[in-house]
């Protein structure tokens, strides 16, 4: 079974479409607690929607091609 894209996960993908961000910045932008955002990021990364790259002590997340195509498909279906 695939990953269910909740509203929170869609918002994360949309923010990452604008620019790569680390988890703390995403949590701040979303007004959510860090652990919640990191749980979503882990699920999105495992499903191939985002990828994380270590930048010093932080991990910066960006969309993968799958993440971009998913957002485009969802917008086309609206």
pLDDT in tens, 9-52: 999 999 999 999 999 999 999 999 999 999 999 999 999 999 99
Q: Is residue 2 part of a domain?
A: no
Q: Is residue 66 part of a domain?
A: yes
By residue range, what is the domain housing residue 11? 7-76
Q: Is residue 32 part of a domain?
A: yes
Number of domains in the chain: 1
Of residues 64, 49, 51, the one with CA closest to residue 22: 51
Task: Give me the pLDDT at residue 3, please.
Answer: 81
DSSP alpha helices (H): ranges in 1-78?
7-18, 23-30, 34-46, 65-76
Q: Is residue 1 part of a domain?
A: no
Higher-confidence position of 73 and 1: 73
Instruction: List the CATH number of the domain containing 67.
Output: 1.10.10.10
Q: Please report which confidence band the pLDDT of residue 74 belongs to, taking 50, 70 and 90 as the band edges.
A: confident
Question: What are the strands of the beta sheet with 58-63, ordered from one edge?
Answer: 21-22, 58-63, 50-55
């Amino acid at each position: 079974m695939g990953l269910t894209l909740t509203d929170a996960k869609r918002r994360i993908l949309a923010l990452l479409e604008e620019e790569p961000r680390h988890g703390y910045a995403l949590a701040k932008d979303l007004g959510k607690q860090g652990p919640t955002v990191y749980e979503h990021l882990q699920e999105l990364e495992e499903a191939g929607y985002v990828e994380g790259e270590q930048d010093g002590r932080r991990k910066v997340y960006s969309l993968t091609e799958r993440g971009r195509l998913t957002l485009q498909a969802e917008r086309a279906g609206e």
